């Protein structure tokens, strides 16, 4: 029977005795933040999709999308999008979106049980709020919202996905996660919603920080 390991795992010195198995997992979702992508449909309505294959490179967010989904379809023609980052407590709304697509008819490549939903905001119990620079709405209640434009949308090596490079144009942050008087997100106040092998987690306690941090624990007050 599977018994969960203690978290965190034992430190490196003890790990020397660990046995590694060669396995063939069906997925490699090793724990990345969930984002909600708002995009514009052909008829001017808006689609919303949860995505965990997203990471930032400077002010560009690189996103991996199923080629046949409505989000990839929309970004190929209408490049504006909003990348909203939900808080851990919002995971039930995210999961309500999981079996839905904005694509009609539903592509054969979608998993069994996936169904067309034209109003995913309502289906998830989420509300849109107007963006400033792009037409797709932000997701109200998400602590971080990034207005962006897809500068490149191209096929990945397998042909099953597209890789989107989205350039962020405006950042909206809940005032409660911003270090007062600065433009810094307070890492102690913000937690992403992490998608970890198809399970949802928030962050655990802080372990340490980079030598490059601009928000060291003892310097959260604005410089005088
Ligand atoms: C937490 C979570 C993370 C997901 N991550 C991705 C992803 O990174 N890329 C992707 O293409 N689909 C991902 N999906 C699946 C899409 O959300 C799903 O295919 C959805 O139908 C896409 O909607 P659309 O067809 O309207 O764009 C994820 C789903 C969930 C619930």
Q: Are 73 and 81 in contact (CB under 8 A)?
A: no
Give me ligand 1 centre to Cα 49, in Å: 6
pLDDT of 36 reads 99
**Arithmetic mean of pLDDT, 19-27:** 96
- Give the pLDDT band (50/70/90) at residue 217: confident
**Arithmetic mean of pLDDT, 13-35:** 90
**Arithmetic mean of pLDDT, 40-64:** 98
Give me the phi and psi of 115, to 5 degrees please. -135, 155
- Whether the predicted pLDDT of 221 surpasses 60: no
- Nearest-CA residue for atom 4 of ligand 1: 51
pLDDT of 223 reads 47
Give me ligand 1 centre to Cα 70, in Å: 10
- Nearest-CA residue for atom 17 of ligand 1: 50
**How would DSSP label each residue in 134-182?**
SSSPEETT-SEEEEEEEEEEEE-TTSSEEEEEEEEEEEEE-GGGBPTTS
Q: Are 171 and 190 in contact (CB under 8 A)?
A: no
Q: Are 149 and 134 in contact (CB under 8 A)?
A: yes
Within 10 Å of residue 128's Cβ, how many Cβ atoms? 17
**What rounded mean pLDDT belongs to the chain?**
94
pLDDT of 222 reads 52
pLDDT of 224 reads 45
pLDDT in tens, 106-160: 999 999 999 999 999 999 999 999 999 999 999 999 999 999 999 999 999 999 9
Give me ligand 1 centre to Cα 156, in Å: 16
Most informative mutation of 63, 69, 164 for ligand 1 (most atoms within 8 A of CB): 69
Measured from the CB, is residue 50 less than 6 Å from ligand 1? Answer: yes
Q: Are 144 and 171 in contact (CB under 8 A)?
A: yes
pLDDT in tens, 172-207: 999 999 999 999 999 999 999 999 999 999 999 999
Closest CA to 61 of 132, 141, 133, 163: 163
Name residue 148's beta-bridge partners: 81, 168
- Residues contacting 25, CB < 8 A, separation 6+: none
Angstrom distance (rounded) from CA 187 to CA 215: 8
Angstrom distance (rounded) from CA 85 to CA 174: 11
Measured from the CB, is residue 39 less than 6 Å from ligand 1? Answer: no
Is the pTM higher than 0.85? The answer reads: yes
Closest CA to 99 of 87, 81, 117: 117
**Arithmetic mean of pLDDT, 3-17:** 69
- The percent of residues above 90 in pLDDT, for the chain, comes to 88
Greater pLDDT, 26 or 223: 26
């Amino acid at each position: 029977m599977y018994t969960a390991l203690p978290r965190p795992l034992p430190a490196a010195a003890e790990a020397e005795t660990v046995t590694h198995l060669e396995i063939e997992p069906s997925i490699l979702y090793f724990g990345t933040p969930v984002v909600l992508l708002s995009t514009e449909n052909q008829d001017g309505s808006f689609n919303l999709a949860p995505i965990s294959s997203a990471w930032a490179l400077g002010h560009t967010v690189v996103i991996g999308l199923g080629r046949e989904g409505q989000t990839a379809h929309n970004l190929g023609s209408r490049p504006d999008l909003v990348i909203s980052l939900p808080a851990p407590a919002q995971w039930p709304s995210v999961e309500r979106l999981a079996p839905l697509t904005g694509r009609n008819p539903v592509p054969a490549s979608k998993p069994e049980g996936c169904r067309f939903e034209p109003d995913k905001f309502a289906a998830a119990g989420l509300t849109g709020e107007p963006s400033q620079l792009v037409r797709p709405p932000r997701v109200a209640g998400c602590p971080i919202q990034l207005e962006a434009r897809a500068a490149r949308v191209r096929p990945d090596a397998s042909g099953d996905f597209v890789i989107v490079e989205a350039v962020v144009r405006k950042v909206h942050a809940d005032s409660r996660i911003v270090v007062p008087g600065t433009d810094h997100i307070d890492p102690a106040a913000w937690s992403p919603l992490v998608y970890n092998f198809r399970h949802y987690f928030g962050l655990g306690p802080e372990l340490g920080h980079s030598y490059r941090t601009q928000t060291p624990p003892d310097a959260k007050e604005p410089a005088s």
